[in-house]
Structure 1
């Protein structure tokens, strides 16, 4: 079964004359980078725990403990959903705008709500934990239209950082992803 959210739609080869937005269908939401090894590792651990819980569900059913089996199966389903959502998390772009998918919520901005997308040096969270380190972040500057809708005073989170689960110890991948998102913003704003 193919999992399209695990792959980028564009192979970032060194092809001369490669257009920044080589997609035929720009209306489709796509992630311009592949998930990093830390994100995939965390999802794999969650799926491993879910498999143990499903095995425990079978054992509890054989022992005729229906409530215990239902509890284990429910927790296993939660682990599976969390793993899939974790793999889907990240920045997605289309002709409609920019979407930042988090574990529990999603923020979508239309291109008319974005004034600029640029890379800055600033303190960033290390793997999403409270600890911060100096690094690079791809940030969005909201347009006046966004600020007029109650967006003033609400800081937008950085889209990407070079110390998150996708780009830790992969500075080239961060640079490619940031350049691609900036290219989408430049062309479609």
Structure 2
């Protein structure tokens, strides 16, 4: 059989799955807002809640410093095992993951079968610095009847997924992320927000 390539996200999801299987309900897992809702589904299987953080590396590392957090990371390949070091360390992370896999007692391909690749899409749009506040106020007003989180920017939950809009701290842009049941739906969510922002920005 030809070997298959595991995406960055699936690798991340597999790691979370194995961690929860090993530690059960002990300790929290801290993940940024843009990580797929698949994480919550995995957590529910083990009776564990996911703690969401802001998007920045600093925010993830601050969460990793909490005593009740046993893992933190993001779906771009950054893993933190606070018990050993509350910061990113690729060599140590690889060692930890190999240890988890060895103790799992079943091949990676079998664990992977239980996880689906999420439909995630992201894009950025230019916005002048002096209009970011106006755009955020209009987005909040637009979503007033929906379920939202405002940990970082605004995350709007919908029946088939969510869309996350974050004003970039260092550049005159908004970062937009979305997840849905299909990639076309995720793209449509992002495009809808982009059109809305364009209608505000002058």
Bin for the TM-score computed over the shorter chain: under 0.3
For normalisation by structure 1, the TM-score amounts to 0.22
Select the structure with the greater relative contact order (CA < 8 A; seq sep ≥ 6).
Answer: 1
- Which has more radius of gyration? 1
